[in-house]
Amino acid sequence: MTPQDASAGAPQGRWSSLDRPPLNASALSRALVSADGLWTSLEVVASTGSTNTDLAARAAELPEGAVLVAEEQTAGRGRLDRSWVAPARSGLFFSVLLKPGPGVPEERWAWLTLLAGVATAAGLSRAAGVDTLLKWPNDLLVTVEGEERKAGGILAERVGDGVVIGIGLNVTLTEDELPVPTAGSLALAKATVTDREPLLKAVLRSLEEWYGRWRDAAGDPGDSGLQETYAAGCATLGRHVRADLPGGRELTGTAEALDTDGHLVIRTAEGERVAVGAGDVVHLRQVR
């Protein structure tokens, strides 16, 4: 599907919901794009297949800091090409282009997924007054009626000399609109703010702050405070989990720590400590 500008060509009825107004691209650009900041451009499209796919296709011609936002994604993707589906204007669906450059060793770029999680959680806490927990490696959890539910996810993809990071977040989805019963949204978590514009600005400003801190530390997760902050907000740590691995293999034990590569360290019943990366795990589930 060809992306369409959100301000043109859309039937009036499409934007008639007062609860889900369209984003104002001009206002967002004025607030976020500056000559001395990270964000160099911000585009809002009415509908597209995947913002990650679109931005990745243009990454070679764009400078670092390009932001692409969609009011609706028809082929949104999560990790391992899992689908991400939500009604138009019910959430935040956007991708950003980052180019850490030679100042950050490439083996540390894997931390960008975890960095995006920390930044998103911090931004939502400030702007919406909602606690967002992190499920390793790329899920965002909120609490709905005492139950942890997935309200968002992060997908990082290497493209040439950069990384495209996609963030999907359910904002105003109702129970009837959830794709699965275990999903959640900010509205269901009783967020104080569900206006998408201040939420998007808060997340992007938080992402700029954390990315700058990490890059200034040459990507070192310890010196930048990223490793400690992620661990403090990670719901996975301390729990008994089962990691489903390729080939039908399983690893069961207690999620004990994050190592310096961002891998999850699992201690088995036999006392062995095994580190697994995001690319090693098909599913990670808590077990009783």
- CATH number for the domain spanning 135: value is 3.30.930.10
Residue of 28, 66, 37, 41 lying closest to 198 (CA atoms): 28
> Rounded mean pLDDT of 54-75?
96
Distance CA 147, CA 165 (A): 28
> Rounded mean pLDDT of 203-219?
98
**What's the domain count of the chain?**
2
Question: Does residue 203 share a domain with residue 267?
Answer: no
Token representation of residue 213: 């801190």
Give the β-pairing of 91-98 and 264-267: unpaired
**In this structure, are residues 86 and 177 in contact, taking their beta carbons and an 8 Å threshold?**
yes
Predicted confidence band at 15 (pLDDT cuts at 50, 70, 90)?
very low
Token representation of residue 255: 């999620």
Predicted confidence band at 83 (pLDDT cuts at 50, 70, 90)?
low
All residues at 6 or more sequence positions from 165 whose CB lies less than 8 Å from its CB, including other chains: 95, 96, 98, 112, 113, 116, 154, 155, 156, 157
**pLDDT-above-90 percentage for the chain:** 87
pLDDT at position 93? 97
Tell me how far CA of residue 87 lies from CA of 93, 139, 168, 178, 266, in angstroms: 11, 19, 12, 9, 37
* Domain assignment of residue 182, yes or no: yes
Question: Does residue 260 share a domain with residue 205?
Answer: no
Question: Does residue 55 share a domain with residue 158?
Answer: yes
Question: Does residue 277 share a domain with residue 215?
Answer: no
pLDDT at position 8? 38
Q: How far apart are the first and last CA of the chain?
A: 44
Q: What is the pLDDT of residues 163-190, one digit of tens each?
A: 999 999 999 999 999 999 999 999 999 9
pLDDT at position 80? 46
> Rounded mean pLDDT of 263-286?
95
- The residue range of the domain holding 78 is 12-232
pLDDT at position 84? 62
Is it true that the peptide bond before 137 is cis, omega within 30 degrees of 0?
A: yes
Nearest 5°: phi and psi at 251? -135, 120
Question: Does residue 154 share a domain with residue 254?
Answer: no
- Compare 162 and 83 and report the one with higher pLDDT: 162
pLDDT at position 209? 98
pTM: 0.91
- CATH number for the domain spanning 246: value is 2.30.30.100
Other beta carbons within 10 angstroms of residue 134's beta carbon come to: 24
Residue of 210, 262, 209, 272 lying closest to 231 (CA atoms): 262
Q: What is the pLDDT of residues 17-35, one digit of tens each?
A: 567 999 999 999 999 999 9
